[in-house]
Structure 1
């Protein structure tokens, strides 16, 4: 790790490319304040991945795309389509709120209620906004690490548009994408569909004996419909669905029961729906929205060698009614307030041949929030807000947040500071499964960060550095009653269990501290050349033991260089360096996932005004590494494709 750490520190002084605003313009972010806000007026740490970035990087999956974001690391249990977790500033993966077009998509049937980013592809995505740090005042439960908002392609003014994309690559991978959009009169409609298949790699690391390939097939579709009844009243309808079948490796169902090339596979169906009305009054000064959102996830697990073959199934469903109102009090002063009511439920059945078991449960959460935005003096924007949530199990919880951004020179220099609180309600599994504990309290966090951003060279240079610290309390951990240090299998069970737990239970026992720095440098020294960098040093530790949290490396650097040639070709290269991380092996012993470096190269060439050929090589030097113990990652892979725009 020593060489890698020094290399990361060196690259922190060199430039790469990420989302750079157009020269002379300024990026707008929605996720930070739930309203459109110029980045220079946001006191939070925000990263934006634009449609141009998505096209240039050419990555098929969201997980690979998010590697370019400072302070964010990801793990994946095998190849494309397998379970992928995102860690923001060292927070747990279930401490990240995932949104599609502003609708929460976290899975209420998963063990901790988090979202699996592994099945989410980039084909129908126009933009990704990442807000780092606790954001529970505006986004509620789970927003301890941050928020990832995935925004699909939208209809824009002008003539109809359509796009087709197809690519083929290593491991018999095929990826097909189609999009279309139309805006005419009061009607705006946009939608897309994608289909992907790949033979994949062995999820069980080849370095540990894995040989059998674990493939994936999935398709997805989305549709957005808007109807403007008047200039002030609009209907907003959105839908998104995804179906996947992914092969997995795991523990054998027969002796010797070790981790192996298992024939297991998983089927997952996900659907999101949203219906809302938007109304504006007082010449646009008063903005109102009322909406209903539903998220449903169905998962089935199979083992063809076992009896029964279908080992388990689960269903998670969230329904949410929300109302939000924003009012411009005076120039530079505004307020936003909202109320939400959420109903969640899950059902989970398992049958490993020893008799079937079923877990089920439901919960309700009622929330009220408000935030004031003020400009007390020129160049200074301040936001302050509070939220109160009431859960039918643990009762009430209140969070606060405040942030400020100051620029003395119209955005060339920006000084940011923020204080934020976050919380996460116990998942339905943690409350209502056979290991559940109805006495659980919400996990909570308090965090602050400060940042300085400087632009120069007429907007061609951008440098920034952020320092942050977060404390998290009441972490929910599993207490193992048959661990080696407790051979009698006796536990002091607390009251409030939904069912008797024969080998363990969930309890609030954890406290963690995460602190570090994030540095970014973006340059456009000449027209056509874009360079930038980001480097993160994050130290996430368990306060009780002083040990680093699992699967969260301290050091990460991402670098990229892109150049547009005078004859139309675009070329680029990226390097990702990730430091060592701790993990546990099959026996519960702490082990180390070694740091790694991967290099990707890419090129594209336009053919006329409506077509573009492109190609890439991922993991150019065929680096072999693991981000999760036992699970391998893809080696070198070449891909070629074509994009058509109509």
Structure 2
């Protein structure tokens, strides 16, 4: 189920990695741990989305990129089957301008060349929901949040001593996925444990049109273990622990000359380990403190017939402090500070890469009521080794129109710090790089009307967002440099109809005009137009959904029919039709079936890499 986040979710749950952002749904509110009192959805000065992961799994979504694919404004092209490189483009921004978090902790790999997060290897079994907020959020999160934030919220201990669950699904490409977990509450102790495995033979990454295609399958094996624990030492003091480990082995097909070609002996081993220990202290009903710290370790090694090639090893140690003060029933103040210490050790194209940097950040954020307006604001100061300080801010307001409509507007600045790779790689690194910086303003509104005898039989929504980006990092000759500027105009329209209490029809349209400000040339992999439509039904024990998505023509790096680089050109649009159905046998057992690319369209989400052919997934979920 998708809901608009409340103002609390934007400001408090998305405020700092120090806070374990953990939301609970009600009919029209999202309640966030450590946030002020629940706030009505219409008070949020932005459009955001919450994805219920259990619902997404029934629709056949296994990986993070699949769950994000239908979110308006997001483009999530994957270069092959599940497990392959996947980028997130939010509202026309670059693929390294969306910050991805797990329970408020940033999980981007510090060793990647351009700090791009790979959304293709994170499966969803340990997640309860996913929050997506688009727009500039560096004033809350710091580096990387130019286009928005994706926050994966884990499962937590529920009522009762033991709540076990088991889910098994299998289907096309010899795919098998299994997820087992348990959660519960034992007096003052809460726990949630989850283990998930995914294996698939996949399909051939190389498209049939390319001469080197021979049908050799490119599969993946992914294992994820997660534990979330908290213990109330007293009525006002609690400690918590988060543990997560993911191991992925993925086949891929690199050509000898950088071309697209079959390579049956090549694979990438990608492992991440995350831990965080925290403590929360409620000094009074109005004031609470939180302190946490932990580390993220990442390892990626490519190999060819067992011989190791490029290696990337990254570490990020972090510590966070925050304070939440309810000044009055209408106003809340959040203050916080962060410290991060990152380092990488890599071997890229035979050259060693080493680098380290320390980062400090502090922020102040507030939310409250000012006359008829619901207001949010935040300012943040960051200081990095090597290139100094960065100041960002964001302010927004929502204006209710009666009980069923609202208008909102916001303005903010954001930035991305240059990656350690960009600064320290031999030959073409540049330690003097400046951060990429953006300014963004947004205006939007939504409304709900009674229709068809339903209280909310019609919903309408629209927004317009404009951004200017300076100091984009690219190649200036043979080295990285701040060489480009970009301008982005993004518009979105949404409609939902409920002719009955069991049937909902939704449609959305997004228009993106993202260009290089110096040349006027469109930015790659950002279609000017994209459409989506969904028809969902739920009646008694049965539910079903049919969804259609069209990705418009876009500029991309292209490869000819022999698999060699052919320059940059506009590539064709494509349509994807999906369908799913579920039957709740009883309160404990649910069966589901999901079909992807129902019409078996041949397409390339990334030019030179085959999109998934028609496939089927059948599963069962047991929650005794």
TM-score, normalised by the number of residues in structure 2: 0.91
Corresponding residue number in structure 2 for 1:415: 407
Deviation at 1:158, TM superposition (A): 4.1
Answer yes or no: is the 8 Å Cα contact 1:163–1:178 preserved in 2. yes
Question: Is 1:474 aligned with 2:471?
Answer: yes
2:235 to 223, 231, 236: 231
Question: Is 1:364 aligned with 2:337?
Answer: no
Alignment of 1:594-613 (within 5 A): 594-613=572-591
Secondary structure of residue in 1 paired with 2:125: coil
1:639 to 617, 621, 624: 617
Answer yes or no: is the 8 Å Cα contact 1:62–1:122 preserved in 2. yes
Counterparts in 2 of 1:425 and 1:194: CA distance versus 1, 3 Å = same
Answer yes or no: is the 8 Å Cα contact 1:584–1:590 preserved in 2. yes
Corresponding residue number in structure 1 for 2:221: 217
Answer yes or no: is the 8 Å Cα contact 1:191–1:222 preserved in 2. yes
Deviation at 1:596, TM superposition (A): 0.5
In 2: Cα distance, 1:534 partner to 1:150 partner:
24
In 2: Cα distance, 1:229 partner to 1:40 partner:
37
Answer yes or no: is the 8 Å Cα contact 1:611–1:642 preserved in 2. yes
Corresponding residue number in structure 1 for 2:299: 298
Counterparts in 2 of 1:222 and 1:287: CA distance versus 1, 3 Å = same
Q: Tell me the alpha carbon deviations over residues 434-484 of structure 1, each in whole angstroms, 9 at most, x when there is no partner.
A: 1210110010100010011101222343211001101111000023x4xxx
Corresponding residue number in structure 2 for 1:243: 247
Counterparts in 2 of 1:23 and 1:95: CA distance versus 1, 3 Å = closer
Answer yes or no: is the 8 Å Cα contact 1:19–1:49 preserved in 2. yes
Answer yes or no: is the 8 Å Cα contact 2:253–2:261 preserved in 1. yes
Counterparts in 2 of 1:637 and 1:140: CA distance versus 1, 3 Å = same
Q: Tell me the alpha carbon deviations over residues 85-138 of structure 1, each in whole angstroms, 9 at most, x when there is no partner.
A: 000011111111100011100111001112100001122211011010110011
Q: Greater relative contact order (Cα 8 A, min sep 6): structure 1 or 2?
A: 1
Q: Which moved more, 1:204-213 or 1:574-583?
A: 204-213
Counterparts in 2 of 1:259 and 1:170: CA distance versus 1, 3 Å = same
**RMSD (CA atoms):** 2.1
Alignment of 1:182-201 (within 5 A): 182-201=184-203
Deviation at 1:261, TM superposition (A): 0.7
Counterparts in 2 of 1:461 and 1:154: CA distance versus 1, 3 Å = farther
Deviation at 1:604, TM superposition (A): 1.1
In 2: Cα distance, 1:469 partner to 1:118 partner:
29
Q: Which moved more, 1:603-612 or 1:433-442?
A: 603-612
Q: Tell me the alpha carbon deviations over residues 164-190 of structure 1, each in whole angstroms, 9 at most, x when there is no partner.
A: 110110110001011211112110000
Answer yes or no: is the 8 Å Cα contact 1:29–1:38 preserved in 2. no
Corresponding residue number in structure 2 for 1:14: none
1:342 to 333, 340, 343: 340
Corresponding residue number in structure 2 for 1:426: 418
Answer yes or no: is the 8 Å Cα contact 1:300–1:313 preserved in 2. yes
Secondary structure of residue in 1 paired with 2:422: helix
Corresponding residue number in structure 1 for 2:88: 86
In 1: Cα distance, 2:482 partner to 2:35 partner:
31
Counterparts in 2 of 1:536 and 1:30: CA distance versus 1, 3 Å = farther
Secondary structure of residue in 1 paired with 2:111: coil
Deviation at 1:150, TM superposition (A): 0.6
Corresponding residue number in structure 1 for 2:544: 571
Answer yes or no: is the 8 Å Cα contact 1:32–1:44 preserved in 2. no
Corresponding residue number in structure 2 for 1:404: 397
Deviation at 1:290, TM superposition (A): 0.7
Answer yes or no: is the 8 Å Cα contact 1:478–1:505 preserved in 2. yes
Answer yes or no: is the 8 Å Cα contact 1:49–1:128 preserved in 2. yes
Question: Is 1:287 aligned with 2:288?
Answer: yes
Corresponding residue number in structure 2 for 1:531: 505
Alignment of 1:135-534 (within 5 A): 135-158=137-160, 160-209=162-211, 210=213, 211-252=215-256, 258-263=259-264, 264-283=266-285, 285-304=286-305, 309-350=307-348, 356-378=350-372, 380-410=373-403, 412-434=404-426, 435-457=428-450, 458-479=455-476, 481=477, 504-534=478-508
Answer yes or no: is the 8 Å Cα contact 1:130–1:147 preserved in 2. yes
In 1: Cα distance, 2:550 partner to 2:534 partner:
12
Answer yes or no: is the 8 Å Cα contact 2:138–2:392 preserved in 1. yes
Deviation at 1:233, TM superposition (A): 0.7
Answer yes or no: is the 8 Å Cα contact 1:137–1:421 preserved in 2. yes
Secondary structure of residue in 1 paired with 2:88: strand
Counterparts in 2 of 1:20 and 1:312: CA distance versus 1, 3 Å = closer
Deviation at 1:156, TM superposition (A): 2.4
In 1: Cα distance, 2:28 partner to 2:45 partner:
15
Secondary structure of residue in 1 paired with 2:55: helix
Corresponding residue number in structure 1 for 2:553: 580
Secondary structure of residue in 2 paired with 1:156: coil
In 1: Cα distance, 2:344 partner to 2:158 partner:
38
Deviation at 1:569, TM superposition (A): 1.9
1:104 to 106, 131, 143: 106
Q: Tell me the alpha carbon deviations over residues 470-512 of structure 1, each in whole angstroms, 9 at most, x when there is no partner.
A: 1111000023x4xxxxxxxxxxxxxxxxxxxxxx210001100
1:619 to 597, 608, 611: 597
Corresponding residue number in structure 2 for 1:494: none
Deviation at 1:33, TM superposition (A): 8.2
Secondary structure of residue in 2 paired with 1:522: strand
Corresponding residue number in structure 2 for 1:488: none
Deviation at 1:39, TM superposition (A): 2.6
Question: Is 1:71 aligned with 2:73?
Answer: yes
In 1: Cα distance, 2:26 partner to 2:346 partner:
53
2:60 to 58, 61, 78: 58
